Amino acid sequence: MLRKLIDSPWTYFALASVLVILAILSQIQTVGEDAPEGTVADLESLSDRDDLNVIFILIDTLRADRLGAYGYERNTSPNLDALAARGIRFASAESQSSWTKASMASLWASRYPERTGVTRSDDAISQEALLPAEILNEAGYQTAGIWRNGWVANNFGFGQGFDLYYKPTPNRNPGARRGRSPSEFQLGGSDLDITESALEFMTNHKNDRFFLYLHYMDVHQYVSSDQSPSWGTSFSDNYDRSIFWTDQNIGLLMEKLFELELLSHTMIVIASDHGEGFFEHGGEGHARSLYKEVQHVPLIIVPPIRLAEGVVVEESVANIDIWPTVLDMMGLPPVPDAEGRSLLPLILEGSKEGVDAEALRNRSLFAQLDKNWGKRTKGPDPLISMVDGSYRYIFLESVPEATEVYDRSTDPLEKKNIVRDNSVPIAELQAKVKNFLDAGSPVWGDAPRVDVDEMMQAQLRALGYAFTMTNPEEVQRRKKAAEEVQQNQKWD
């Protein structure tokens, strides 16, 4: 019925107008007013409840600094901002790669790409890996995953533990428009297809315990509605418009949860697999580098209680920490062999005596990108980004002379490479990266390979990925950097 209504342009425009009004109202009213008010200390009691649902919203390609909750001046995200204000916002969350499959494998398995083995275009998650959906399914949850990104398709191992796991049929959404973007390829349908499927699932399972994973793609594709604010015509402006459109979709989800009286026993987790670059370091897009613009992602946990004062965790955390945290809060078994940690001590420490979060303050956090991930005839060429204290250390194994170091405390945009600064503990940072790379392969063995046939390649190219990716600007920049460093630095 909703689809028939949406197929009418006039009905769609009326709906879009309502969505805009809801988005504006969400800045004034707290999203989820039927959730009982509580305190941070009440989060510990969630593990005693047996009526909790989980909705995991993954907004593909969303960088944190384009949301109002993270300080952005444009009103791109009124609904997300309202959710962050009543929940837990992690100010400095890092993704584990800058392309979807490697990042999502790490997020689900709570292990770095080096230890999932999923680093290249034909890698898949091993069936031996025990993933969060399997843990939730075993605990009695109805599990569903709805996605539009082919990198998380069933054949790559991402459907493990889901009762339902599917890509919704693309439909004609008259008000959804794709803006000019770095990719010329079209992906059918829009995120309204995911939202509509989610609304149906929630309605059908309102009396069940459920886990719902929604993987939104319109920010990746720069899709927006005619009602999105007109901030300009650049790639960056179109990207912001798409965030507003996705935020409207999330507003619809919240309205349905309110209508079904589910907010009081539903935990909502909002995250992203990677960000997007706009020439901050010489290029646009993602899957080519590991700088802040593609690594700093939003992470918001909205508990089934309305926190009078939202919690902000300033410590650097990682996407591999998401499921150890959620499962810990729910009192469920952890992901086996996880490298991620539960962040509950960081959340609780300000409100409860005796909570020790010190071990979470001194971690080195890693991201990894195989520069040859889509070049099947070439061997691995790992690029590593390590966040260690105030430093971001970037190391390309094939060109170690081009190592980069940025002090995030004084250079938040990561513009000044201080690798030759004598105050930088280069040897210590080098040793940590070496130890990371030497720490071993997946506990379940090498990642299985999937034959990426021509049809699948065509589907993935629709996402803007090419399998013979080269970036001449990046090659020349690193070559120049290497020459400069060789003149001034002797490396072991």
Q: List, for residues 347-399, the tens digit of each pLDDT value.
A: 998 767 667 899 999 899 999 999 988 887 788 899 999 999 999 999 999 99
Can you give the pLDDT at residue 142?
Answer: 99
Contact of 296 with 62, CB cutoff 8 Å: no
Report the pLDDT value the prediction gives residue 480, as an integer from 0 to 100: 56
Alpha carbon 236 to chain centroid, angstroms: 19
CA distance 209 to 131: 18
pLDDT at position 293: 97
Task: Provide CB contacts within 8 A for 50, sequence distance 6+.
Answer: 209
Q: What percent of the chain is predicted at pLDDT more than 90?
A: 68
Please report the pLDDT score of residue 170 as a whole number: 87
Q: How many CB atoms lie within 10 A of CB 29?
A: 10
Cα 63 from Cα 80, distance rounded (Å): 13
Q: Tell me what pLDDT residue 465 has.
A: 56
Tell me what percent of the chain is helix, strand and coil, each rounded to the nearest 5: 40, 20, 45
Per-residue pLDDT at 490? 32
Instruction: Output the pLDDT for position 280.
Output: 86
Cα separation, 281 vs 452, whole angstroms? 31
CATH among 3.40.50.1360, 3.40.190.10, 3.30.1120.10, 3.20.20.70 for 364-488: 3.30.1120.10
Ranges of the chain with pLDDT below 50: 1-30, 32, 467-472, 474-475, 478-479, 482-492
Strand partners, 53: 266
Q: What is the pLDDT of residue 460?
A: 57
Q: Which amino acid is at 14?
A: A
Pick the CATH number of 2-360 from 3.40.720.10, 3.40.190.10, 3.40.50.2300, 3.40.47.10: 3.40.720.10
DSSP state of 449: B
Give me the pLDDT at residue 463, please: 58
Average pLDDT, the chain: 86
- Domain ranges in the chain are 2-360, 364-488
